[in-house]
Structure 1
Amino acid sequence: MPPRKTAPPVQFAPPEVVPSAPSGAGNGVTVIGIDPGSQCTGWGVVREASGVLTLVDCGAIRPKGDVFAARLGHLFRELHALVGRYAPDEAAIENVHAARNVATALKLGQARGVAVAACAAHGVLVADYQPSEIKKALVGTGGADKEQVSFMVARVLGAKGGWGLDTGDALAAAVCHLNARRLARLARA
């Protein structure tokens, strides 16, 4: 039997949980969108002020290595740092979609749990969206492909695009959430 691979010890002290500012407090709201994955997690920060959406920053996290737990630890540390750096008011995280097999779905679910935990460690509220819901909100159909979603995100944000597809999905989650917030506000008025 081959030797078992173990993850290196993680040097991390959990932060004190401090709730973020109430949503909509001050001038505008900042949302981090996350498209979780164990191989690549897209993220994007979008700010809305006076009905105008602005891209703050975006990117992707690509954990390396054969040890799954170590990849999840890397993902947590990176997302935790991003949430701390950008101090979003809220988060929008894509739900796990139907995967090709059960093992893939479980890994995606664990990566999603890491993303939720990284936001919760900062007291950031998380909104969940189905991939088809995000696609429909941006493209008009729940069956849109990732390229169409990225194209529409770039148009909505007035950006050049050129980011990876996972990053485009994360930005789409943030835009979808900001649109849902705006519609909810209008419905209450």
Structure 2
Amino acid sequence: MTHSSPARILGIDPGLRITGFGVLDKVGQKLIYVASGFIKTPVGELPERLKVILNSLREVIEMHQPQLVAVEKVFVNVNPQSTLLLGQARGAAICAAVLANLPVAEYTALQVKQAVVGNGHAKKEQVQDMVQRLLELSGSPSPDAADALACAICHAHAGMGMGQLATKGLRMRNGRLS
């Protein structure tokens, strides 16, 4: 009997105020919780806040050594300024992965919720509850950490097969899977 080696996935829920992260291992079909948390940026100038996101995620990557990063895609907000700021936070998160030479997979919030809850319009509390159940956590993760873990779970279900990084049909361009 052969055992597949674990695939470590870092999920990121980007935000300018709070960026969630979650790390899990996929061994065969089993998902194993490794770590999660959030990065809170100080109030201040945009460049400094983006630097905090970039440097903090680089530390997370260095500490946990993921093989792949899954990032939630930006949705268009009612407020265009908020959408632009969120996009910049997301860019800092992607840069942290690319600087570590990690491939990046991207999923919409709808895809993430569909993969984790079975309903693309699920509420945050439903995502938290399902993440807690799927990863057999003793408590409920914070909303931002839960969203990041959900992103990693989505990739584990959708983008990976047999414990290996699935790249069939995907192209690597500038360090990103597309």
Range into which the TM-score falls when normalised by the shorter chain: 0.7 to 0.9
Q: Give yes or no for the alignment of 1:83 onto 2:61.
A: yes
Q: Give yes or no for the alignment of 1:110 onto 2:88.
A: yes
Partner of 2:37: 59
Cα distance in 1 for partners of 2:75, 2:57 equals 21
For residue 135 of structure 1, what is the amino acid of its counterpart? Answer: K
**If each structure's strand is expressed as a fraction of its own residues, which one has the higher value?**
2
For residue 61 of structure 2, what is the amino acid of its counterpart? Answer: V
Q: Give yes or no for the alignment of 1:173 onto 2:151.
A: yes
Partner of 1:163: 141
Aligned residue pair count: 162
User: Could you list the runs of 5+ residues in structure 1 that have no partner in the other structure?
Assistant: 1-25
Partner of 2:102: 124
Identity %: 35
Q: Give yes or no for the alignment of 1:34 onto 2:12.
A: yes
Partner of 2:49: 71
Cα distance in 1 for partners of 2:6, 2:154 equals 16
Cα distance in 2 for partners of 1:98, 1:134 equals 16
Partner of 2:122: 144
What is the Cα-based RMSD across aligned positions, in Å?
Answer: 1.8
For residue 69 of structure 1, what is the amino acid of its counterpart? Answer: P
TM-score (norm 1): 0.81
User: Could you list the runs of 5+ residues in structure 2 that have no partner in the other structure?
Assistant: 169-178
Question: Residues 142 and 79 of structure 1: is their aligned pair in 2 closer, same or farther, counting only changes over 3 Å?
Answer: same
Alpha-carbon deviations, 1:80-116, whole Å to 9, x = none?
1111111101010000122230100000000000000
Alpha-carbon deviations, 1:122-180, whole Å to 9, x = none?
11100000000100111111110111011101111111232211110000000000011
Cα distance in 2 for partners of 1:114, 1:146 equals 24
Q: Which structure has the larger Rg over C-alpha atoms?
A: 1
